[in-house]
A and B are shown apart, each in its own frame.
Chain A
């Protein structure tokens, strides 16, 4: 039933499966592991799951959002340290929280074009081993010192050193053009869209409930490989409930005073982890005796002007989805599963509300009326980022592998993926079986 993809190619890009390590809370189980350690372990888990030892794949595409300068060739170095053939080419990408889903689309497109037969896409992130940089003033002095021709010039530069230059630069979860944190942006969005605290907590509780149930029934047995003693996601609270979440104090949107709704419970925590997906042509899958779980059939990226325009920072998927549906000839209700990345409960709820709002859809999407609503029982049925956690670049791979398995279990169907990202961007995609 899968329709043919963007463009005229007759080849389909198959998702064969995936692997991730359990996601750990920042400073938790993976506090001593770097991006390369985690990505290598995750690749090796995939290799063992699909018996890819010494296999030369078409390409491995991955990335990290928080990356040390020394990790410029992160994916290549990880592949060299893995059990894959070292002749497997790689490249790094970075598109904030869309890194993983974009990597998947890139590999899928190369498969569709016949440029490669197989590939791995994914991402990794750590907030426990984030790069801390020398501050800009000091860096300037050091660069000049490096360029200086004589010892006398270098000594002169010493005069430019100031005590304030000792303070290093920490990476910040902050939009460079607004100075507002992502949570801060979303708090404004929650206020403007009148997303209630209760609705946000209910979405968060459902995420934990669904994730716990999925682990209990063995759903993740072939999607997750334990790492450094962690066998399940560290953020999972199987006993989470709306009542417990209601007791948390607001964490963002302090300006809203009493009306602040966003807490640590209904926002994703800082997380460490990695996820990868195995994609291939149908021929390659058959040759390797690997069943196809789903096909990646459509994708779309959108960006919004959250600086000067009227859109909220994390609203881009609200634009990307209708554009993709138009091209695919599908309606919002034509899906069996919806995987909407839960950056914040409010982001998911505001997006759904926007699609249900005839005025917004007319003004912003140029539609005749509302795009529609979704059956909430089909949303994030095995949990999403609020419960799993969200190592930025790893989320896309997690979602693709999860949705492909859901479609495979069902036997046929269609699933929608939506992932919002920093910088006002959003990537969406469709998997079908």
Chain B
């Protein structure tokens, strides 16, 4: 379903009308293309006293030949591609003033499609130091609000880096600085030290998944097909899985990415065993598993058939739990394995008519959080993405007004694309992202709903 409003608002005549009517103009989001540099303008880097993150960030950027500045440029110069502030040293509520002092003079110098990254220390890691923990927690409110002030198309994130994990944030920093995170904003992500054996970075940043085998469920179309394409672009051999009835489209997906099609109903009793057997026989194991398969059967709980409840829970939640458990129990997920669940804003904020879907998608968060310590022993990680409104066949079937409300109620005034979800998953699936475990990252353009 094409977004007509976005096209009209970005045309010359249409744009003027949209402006006169007082409607917000949805920006054209810059998205990643292979070969694109991380940033295409200078980056402003600042730090509060006592921080730990400025040196690793500076090393990363200078290593990529990025023009790193420590103070604002004169008005004639180009705006900043990104503004990065190391707030990890902020130790009291008074020191929160560092945020104001740094951002006040430069906030307007951020480019459209620019990136703001604030780096903090996880409040829960501040032990009994109440002022420090309080101040670090306060940063979250600052970044989420700043996300609503920056130009549409720009994003703001808070990355809490644990003590000792300073050198392991590269993959996360790169993702949030790049246009791969075009539709991710207002997020809070924790980076820890990777589990033993899960530390070495990607050898090839263009193909971080080279030599890895990735299983993607629900891969025949929509978000699943985009995930398959993105993981393949990053070098993975993709096993595209979907129900047999979707086999024709699934075959096209697999042939399009040089992968293989696996027709299988993930809710079948023997599905976990069949998946384990398949990845073992064909590849000796699997490195990345993306539980993307999902369905909706919307009805208020009072009007819902039990079959509608059962079907949604079986596909969206029980299957990911059973398959993940089997892969771990049978050691079919190789060390440095990555499992990525697909939750939903509906599982965070809830939606009328989606008690079944909301329960299943909140359950995915439960799976991620409960399995994270266990998978770390492999070593490996499990995380989830939580998309909001993404343009797919599923949302094209929604009533017009609901669809329009869903599209506009976020800081980008537009729906996300399947590739936005796929890019976020590719970051979590990368070998270099071993420090991110048990996290839920929304892909929502900083949606108004869902906190």
Docked complex Cα distance between A172 and B263 (Å):
38
Docked complex Cα distance between A218 and B260 (Å):
18
8 Å CB contacts to A: which residues of B283-338? 283-284
On whether the beta carbons of B247 and A224 are closer than 8 Å, the reply is yes
On whether the beta carbons of B281 and A289 are closer than 8 Å, the reply is yes
Stretch from A41-49, A187-195, A325-333, A371-379 forming part of the interface with B: A41-49
Shortest CB-to-CB span from A228 to chain B, Å, is 8
B13 interfacial by beta-carbon distance below 8 Å: no
B258 neighbours in A (Cβ, 8 Å): 51, 53-54
Docked complex Cα distance between A158 and B265 (Å):
65
Nearest CB in chain B to that of A22: its residue: B247
Stretch from B58-66, B248-256, B438-446 forming part of the interface with A: B248-256
A83 interfacial by beta-carbon distance below 8 Å: yes
Shortest CB-to-CB span from B8 to chain A, Å, is 35
A290 neighbours in B (Cβ, 8 Å): 282
Nearest CB in chain A to that of B237: its residue: A51
On whether the beta carbons of B261 and A49 are closer than 8 Å, the reply is yes
Nearest CB in chain B to that of A45: its residue: B251
8 Å CB contacts to B: which residues of A226-250? 226-228, 231
The answer, among B237, B246, B251, B283, for a CB contact under 8 Å with A48, is B251
The answer, among B245, B254, B265, B283, for a CB contact under 8 Å with A226, is B245
User: If the complex has contacts A289-B282, A291-B281, are A221 and B263 also in contact, measured as CB distance less than 8 A?
Assistant: yes
Shortest CB-to-CB span from B274 to chain A, Å, is 8
Shortest CB-to-CB span from A45 to chain B, Å, is 5
A335 interfacial by beta-carbon distance below 8 Å: no
Q: Which of B246, B255, B283 has the most CB of A within 10 A?
A: B255
B264 neighbours in A (Cβ, 8 Å): 218, 221
B259 interfacial by beta-carbon distance below 8 Å: yes
Nearest CB in chain B to that of A289: its residue: B282
On whether the beta carbons of B247 and A45 are closer than 8 Å, the reply is yes
B244 interfacial by beta-carbon distance below 8 Å: yes
On whether the beta carbons of B248 and A226 are closer than 8 Å, the reply is yes
A200 interfacial by beta-carbon distance below 8 Å: no
A289 neighbours in B (Cβ, 8 Å): 281-284
A220 interfacial by beta-carbon distance below 8 Å: yes
Docked complex Cα distance between A47 and B251 (Å):
8
B247 neighbours in A (Cβ, 8 Å): 45, 224-226, 231
B17 interfacial by beta-carbon distance below 8 Å: no
A71 interfacial by beta-carbon distance below 8 Å: no
The answer, among B237, B251, B282, B284, for a CB contact under 8 Å with A225, is B251
The answer, among B252, B260, B270, for a CB contact under 8 Å with A49, is B260
Nearest CB in chain B to that of A225: its residue: B247
Nearest CB in chain A to that of B240: its residue: A48
On whether the beta carbons of A48 and B261 are closer than 8 Å, the reply is yes
B268 interfacial by beta-carbon distance below 8 Å: yes
Docked complex Cα distance between A49 and B242 (Å):
12
On whether the beta carbons of B244 and A218 are closer than 8 Å, the reply is yes
B237 neighbours in A (Cβ, 8 Å): 51
A50 interfacial by beta-carbon distance below 8 Å: yes
B254 neighbours in A (Cβ, 8 Å): 48, 51
A218 neighbours in B (Cβ, 8 Å): 244, 264-265, 268, 270
B255 neighbours in A (Cβ, 8 Å): 44, 47-48, 53, 83
Q: Which of B252, B260, B263 has the most CB of A within 10 A?
A: B263
On whether the beta carbons of B245 and A44 are closer than 8 Å, the reply is no
On whether the beta carbons of A224 and B260 are closer than 8 Å, the reply is no
Shortest CB-to-CB span from B317 to chain A, Å, is 21
List residues of chain B with CB under 8 Å of any chain A CB: 237, 240, 244-248, 250-252, 254-255, 258-265, 268, 270, 281-284
Known: A48-B260, A226-B245, A290-B282. 17 other contacts (CB 8 A): A41-B248, A45-B251, A45-B261, A48-B240, A48-B252, A51-B258, A53-B258, A54-B258, A218-B244, A218-B265, A221-B265, A222-B263, A224-B247, A225-B261, A226-B246, A231-B244, A289-B283
Listed by A's residue number, 10 A-B pairs whose Cβ atoms lie within 8 Å are A48-B252, A49-B251, A51-B237, A218-B264, A218-B270, A220-B244, A221-B244, A221-B263, A221-B264, A222-B262
